[in-house]
Amino acid sequence: MDPTTAGIIGIAIMVFLFMTRMPVAFVMMLVGFVGFSLLTSWKGGLNLMSRNIYDAFASYELSTIPLFILMGQIAFNSGISRRLYNTAYHFLGDIRGGLAMATVSACTAFGAVCGSSPATAATMSTVGIPEMKRYGYANSLSAASVASGGGLGMIMPPSVVLIIYGVLTEQSIGALFVSGILPAILLTILFIIGIYLQCKMNPALGPKGGSFTTREKLKSLANLIDTIIIFVLVIGGLFLGWFTPTEAASIGVIGVLALAAVKRQLTWEGFVNSLYETLRTSCMVLVLIAGAVVFGKFLAVTRIPFDIANWVSAFDMPPFAIMGAIILIYFIGGCFMDSLALIMLTIPVFFPVVTGMGYDPIWFGIIIVLVTEMGVITPPVGINVYVVYGMCQKIAPDVTLEEVFKGILPFMLSIIVGIALLFLFPQIILFLPGLMY
């Protein structure tokens, strides 16, 4: 059979298996193994499977993933998220929509020690939604601000998605981390502007919260100390070249654990829960990586990525139009697939095309993470929306799924504006990495 035809059949089978709700990692691994074996040999396929599964779980570079996940879990169980929200609430709570703005700001700050979008959304749901309900915020704004703000955990370092992108494309994880800082801040500002405009047009969406004196506001800044110490230690160490990403992750875990122990903010039950969630999430991510690598090897044998690259280069279209089409594909794919799986599935196809057109791989990584961030808040997948809705069943049972999705649209527009700005001004992404080298 012609390798290209085999590749197309393999992709079609994979899509069909996705529709049966079979786990993505196993689908990619199964299709990749069978396809690779048919095009080479069964012995070669078995060797590929065993080697890549072992490499994924034994990789020194990928050990950053469980370490950063553990750092985020310990930070969550030691109450850092509540203190971050408290500070943002003190400064923004007395303006219309201020509690939603505080939630988004706290999501960005918590993303600096977490790195997981669903984890950030789940954490801030328990902190922000009850407070917004108390002040009469509309369900659509309160739930949507948490779901959208949680997506900032995908781009704010240390981001698990950026780690995987760096491993798959052999880019500097440190450079990817620092390149995500300014876009995350930009998106936070755009979210805040979007909330302000919503509440300006419809004041009933977000009434004013409590007001605080200047002294109380300044006193609340003490809540930021833990996060600042960890962020400066981890990202500052990477930026200055003191640590490798794996060493930075280890330092982060030790730092969060030490701060929690000194302040007596982490219970034994919380510590055990942190280990359990870290093990569960890390295994899921590493199996996904192993499956994506096996499938990527199959695609390489079929030469489909190279055929697509040659096909695209033959188009009489400017590079920005082709890049726009790729972004549209990621947006549509993100509506139907988990963002992590989508990136691992498509990077082997689109990365050669993008770099062949002369685009910076660091810039492309941030853009793709932003686009797939839209996928975590759009139906039918919209994992952050379902996470927030699930949390609301415990803390605010009157919130409906329709209300959450209804409130998402203004945040989607903010993300689109952010992507457009980063497209027009790529130095927003590349400025900090440029200082590293």
Q: Which of 339, 329, 317, 427 is nearest to 384 (CA)?
A: 339
Query: In three state form, how does the secondary structure of the chain look?
Result: CCHHHHHHHHHHHHHHHHHCCCCHHHHHHHHHHHHHHHHCCHHHHHHHHHHHHHHHHHCCHHHHHHHHHHHHHHHHHCCHHHHHHHHHHHHHCCCCCHHHHHHHHHHHHHHHHHCCHHHHHHHHHHHHHHHHHHCCCCHHHHHHHHHHHHHHHHCCCCCHHHHHHHHHHCCCHHHHHHHCHHHHHHHHHHHHHHHHHHHHHCHHHCCCCCCCCHHHHHHHHHHHHHHHHHHHHHHHHHHCCCCCHHHHHHHHHHHHHHHHHHCCCCCHHHHHHHHHHHHHHHHHHHHHHHHHHHHHHHHHHHCHHHHHHHHHHCCCCCHHHHHHHHHHHHHHHHHHCCHHHHHHHHHHHHHHHHHHCCCCHHHHHHHHHHHHHHHCCCCCCCHHHHHHHHHHHHHCCCCCHHHHHHHHHHHHHHHHHHHHHHHHCCHHHHHHHHHHC
Contact assessment for residue 253 and residue 282, using Cβ atoms and an 8 Å cutoff: no
Rounded to the nearest 5°, which phi and psi values hold at 159?
Answer: -95, 125
Contact assessment for residue 74 and residue 261, using Cβ atoms and an 8 Å cutoff: no
Amino acid at 305: P
341 CB contacts (<8 Å, ≥6 apart)?
24, 25, 28, 288, 292
168 CB contacts (<8 Å, ≥6 apart)?
292, 296, 343, 344, 347, 348, 351
Rounded to the nearest 5°, which phi and psi values hold at 21?
Answer: 70, 25
Rounded distance between C-alpha atoms, residue 281 and residue 158, angstroms: 15
Q: Which of 204, 159, 215 is nearest to 183 (CA)?
A: 159
pLDDT reported for residue 277: 81
Print pLDDT tens along the chain (437 aa): 778 888 888 888 887 887 787 877 788 889 889 998 988 888 888 998 888 888 878 877 778 778 877 887 888 788 777 787 778 878 877 788 888 888 888 888 877 777 667 777 877 787 788 878 877 888 888 889 988 888 887 788 877 788 888 888 888 888 888 899 899 999 999 999 999 999 989 888 888 767 778 888 888 888 888 888 888 888 788 777 788 878 888 888 898 888 888 888 888 888 898 888 888 878 877 887 788 778 878 877 887 766 766 676 666 778 888 888 888 888 777 776 667 777 877 887 788 888 888 899 999 999 988 888 777 787 766 777 877 888 787 777 888 888 888 888 899 999 999 999 999 999 999 998 887 66
pLDDT reported for residue 332: 75
Domain boundary assignment for the chain? 59-289+304-435
Rounded to the nearest 5°, which phi and psi values hold at 157?
Answer: -65, 145
Rounded distance between C-alpha atoms, residue 248 and residue 130, angstroms: 35
Residue found by looking up tokens 């969406």 in the block: 205
